[in-house]
Chains A and B, each alone.
Chain A
Amino acid sequence: MRQNDEDIIKKFQGLRRIEPDVGYVRDSRRLVLASRNAPLPRQDIFAGVTQSLSFAFETALVAALFLVVILGGVFGLSKSLFLPVLQGIDEKALVTEADAINNDIHLKLDEIAYFGNHKTSTERVVALDAKRIQPGRKELPLTETLTDQEIDKLLNRVINEY
């Protein structure tokens, strides 16, 4: 082991004596000295301007696109905010009012029909039942018309069914 270490040390000491080839040293020195005095390549002004303009144009284009996207989104989202207050065509209020009025009128028209066309309680009960079972017709909600129909039905039952 000790012997091996001494061999390695001797080999490293031998490496210190290694030198480059004389010809290689001479050529390398000449090349280095020659390059130090060589003039720098002259910059083309036109190319420089073009390069700057191109960079500016690209930057402007990207910025413009960015603005279009951002402003377009903001405008789209807040379009309604820029509009004046529209009380007449305000959708929520209009739909609510239309629904309430339509339902209410529907009930009133049923009431008119119940009393209007049929003079006896039996006729009225039969007519309203027939109206209710018409296909596609929305079931009548609880109304005063139904109270009358219920009264008429109860009376008919007492008279005829017991």
Chain B
Amino acid sequence: MSRLKRVIFAVGIATPLMGAFVFGIEPALAVGPSSTVVSAETNASLAPEEKLTKAKEDLTKALDLSLKKVNGLKSRLNELNFPELSREEELKNEALKNLDDYADYYNKAKEDLEKKNSLEEVKDLAKNVKEYRDTIYTPGVEEIVRFVLVFYNEEVLGIANDRLSKIETDVKKLDKLGVIKEADFRSKLDEADKLLQKAHNLQGEAKEIILSATSTDLVKEKKSSAKDMIENSLNNVKNVYIIFLELNQTVKKSLGL
């Protein structure tokens, strides 16, 4: 079962419990923005030893979260299965290798941090980590996220197309029984079909760009547009589900249910 299908299944099972449970719990790694809201003045007024301790704590936490993020991306990549020796498989392995490199960097930074005995040293290390994230890690992760999302987009399109086929079959069945007229629903069904077709085309184009080789400036620019294509494609799918829900309500009304 794919990740998204598992999510849909889990939502179906857990919906009655979700309100209290999901929003009530405080997972160990669920770091919300509120946990870090400590005013700059408070930190500035700390004693030098306390500043060093707190700075080391914060940097350790940042590095732990960075490692957690890297592992999360590795899991997402490993859920994607491609034919051996395909371009997709090649890019996936490349991305996994990059993630291993990021993890190595963060682990090395953690080791370095343990040896730091002054606030300035800790600050310098933090600056290095920040620089690494801005120049190496983030562009790399951005590419990995695009790669993962283009296949996520493909999966979502499959689910939405499947739903449209089922709805069309239902409308035809009810038309045969004489309880509704298919013609009354045709325009909405066609609208959904067109949106999905457009979403599919956008996803296809984005996939082609992402799978293309080399890292010339032209390709980099194209890759940026691939992000917009995925975004538009996913927004189309969202709109299609709005139409599906409208269709559901109209059919129910026609049946007097």
Contact = CB atoms under 8 A, between A and B. Distances in A.
Interface of A: 79-80, 83-84, 86-89, 91-105, 108-109, 111-112, 115-116, 119-121, 129, 132, 142, 144, 146-162
A121 B31 CA distance: 17
A96 B8 contact: yes
B166 to A, nearest CB: 3
Contacts of A146: 31-33
B10 to A, nearest CB: 8
A145 to B, nearest CB: 10
Contact of A147 (B69, B252, B255): B69
Contacts of A101: 4, 8, 156, 159-160, 237-238, 241
A119 B134 contact: yes
Given A102-B241, A152-B130, 18 more contacts: A87-B169, A88-B166, A89-B171, A91-B252, A92-B12, A101-B8, A101-B156, A105-B156, A119-B138, A121-B130, A121-B134, A132-B33, A142-B32, A158-B58, A159-B123, A160-B40, A162-B43, A162-B51
B209 interface: no
A102 to B, nearest CB: 6
Contact of B255 (A79, A103, A121, A162): A79
A105 B251 contact: no
Interface stretch (B59-67, B81-89, B90-98, B212-220): B59-67
* B contact patch SS: helix
Contact of A112 (B44, B149, B156, B170): B149
B62 A155 contact: yes
Contacts of A132: 33
12 contacts: A88-B165, A91-B248, A103-B11, A109-B234, A121-B134, A144-B69, A144-B73, A151-B133, A158-B59, A158-B123, A159-B130, A162-B123
Contacts of A80: 257
A96 B14 CA distance: 10
A92, A103, A119: which has the most chain B beta carbons within 10 Å? Answer: A119
Interface of B: 4, 7-8, 11-12, 15, 27, 29-33, 36, 38, 40, 43-44, 46, 51-52, 54-55, 58-59, 61-62, 65-66, 68-69, 72-73, 119, 122-123, 126-127, 129-130, 133-134, 138, 141-142, 145-146, 149, 152, 156, 159-160, 163-171, 173-174, 177, 179, 224, 227, 230-231, 234-235, 237-238, 241, 244-245, 247-248, 251-252, 255-257
A160 B40 CA distance: 8
A65 B145 CA distance: 68
Given A112-B145, A147-B31, A151-B65, A88 B168 contact: yes
A13 to B, nearest CB: 89
Nearest to A132: B33
Contact of B126 (A92, A95, A155): A155
B8, B27, B73, B159: which has the most chain A beta carbons within 10 Å? Answer: B8
Contacts of B224: 116
Nearest to A96: B12
Contacts of B230: 112
A151 B134 contact: no
Contact of A115 (B12, B32, B138, B152): B138
B46 A150 contact: no
B163 A151 contact: no
Contacts of A112: 145-146, 149, 227, 230-231
A82 B223 CA distance: 53
Contacts of B146: 112
B255 to A, nearest CB: 7
The 9 A-B residue pairs whose C-beta atoms are closest, nearest first, are A88-B166, A88-B167, A154-B62, A158-B126, A88-B170, A115-B142, A100-B8, A96-B12, A98-B241
